[in-house]
Amino acid sequence: MPELPEVEVVRRGLRDHVVGRHIAQVDVFHPRAIRRHVPGAVDFAARLVGHSFTDARRRGKYLWVDLSSGEAVLAHLGMSGQMLVQPVGAPDEKHLRVRVSFADDGPELRFVDQRTFGGLSVEGVTEVDGVSLPTPVAHIARDPMDPDFDPVAAVAALRRRRTEVKRALLDQTVVSGIGNIYADEALWLARLHWARPADGLSRAKAAELLTAATDVMDQALRAGGTSFDALYVNVNGQSGYFDRSLNAYGREGEPCPRCGRPIRREPFMNRSSFSCPRCQPHPPGFQL
């Protein structure tokens, strides 16, 4: 699923192409695309038509577009959701789920989702620490790229978790934005095995890990994100290319860029975790 860099790439595209525009029409082509909007398709369209998008924002992996009504359109990209900006009259995508047309007759906003795990919903907002957030994401912690991110508090929250360090990194209430890919990359940079207890890390090591996560996501953002197939794209349909720079994730059997030992793959939470057996040794007592 898309993580912070991929979502940020989409957010910037939405900011550049749809913010400030007046919504004229909304067409919902598949009910699953708005299943989180419980009142249904007619109500979803009515909440948008006649209003404008005022901002495109993100917290961690969560993306939304503010409406002039004071509500927000929350986008769950899921495994294959795409927010595309397309010229009026361009052929419909095979998996087009929602189309937003604008009063200026300029490019449309289209939500395309092959696997239909993603979706859109109109949400009320809640103020948290002086910031308005869609209510469903009000509990999400700040991410390392947030100007008000508090690294000291994040280190303390990480070290309070009585679980494996990777599981703690993926906990969006501890620090948001990090998913499976960038957790593995950060752990590789910090020379930590994913099963190390989070509450056993020193403050210095926990801070090093969060810095590594920030650095790798910043590098990925500059590369347009990580795209393993044609499903992760920006609003223009272009894929990112950070997958070419990954050191551990998805590199099973390939030499570690640091020491040359083959990267290993281990099961983790119904997924996989990739690490170097020499640079990231198992913690004492580790058993799969």
User: Could you tell me which residues come within 8 angstroms of residue 245 by beta carbon, excluding any fewer than 6 positions away?
Assistant: 219, 220, 223
What is the per-residue pLDDT across 71-105, written as a single tens digit (0 to 9) for each? 999 999 888 889 999 999 999 999 999 999 999 99
Overall average pLDDT of the 242-246 stretch: 65
Say what the pLDDT of residue 228 is.
Answer: 43
DSSP 35-90: TTSTT-HHHHHHHHTT-BEEEEEEETTEEEEEETTS-EEEEE-TTTEEEEEE-TTP
DSSP state of 255: B
Distance separating alpha carbons of residues 286 and 288, to the nearest angstrom:
7
What does pLDDT average to over the chain?
92
Q: What whole-number distance in Å separates Cα of residue 167 and Cα of residue 165?
A: 5
What is the spatial distance between Cα 22 and Cα 48, in angstroms, rounded to a whole number?
9
What amino acid positions are annotated as catalytic residues?
2-3, 61, 271
The whole-angstrom distance between residue 21's C-alpha and the CA centroid of its chain comes to: 25
pLDDT in tens, 181-238: 999 999 999 999 999 999 999 999 999 999 999 999 988 888 766 544 455 456 665 5
11-46 pLDDT, tens digit each: 999 999 999 999 999 999 999 999 999 999 999 999
Query: Is the distance from CB of 58 to CB of 8 less than 8 angstroms?
Result: yes
Q: Which residue has the higher pLDDT, 238 or 248?
A: 248
**Cα gap 276→258, rounded to integer Å:** 9
pTM of the model: 0.90
Closest CA to 94 of 115, 117, 79, 118: 115
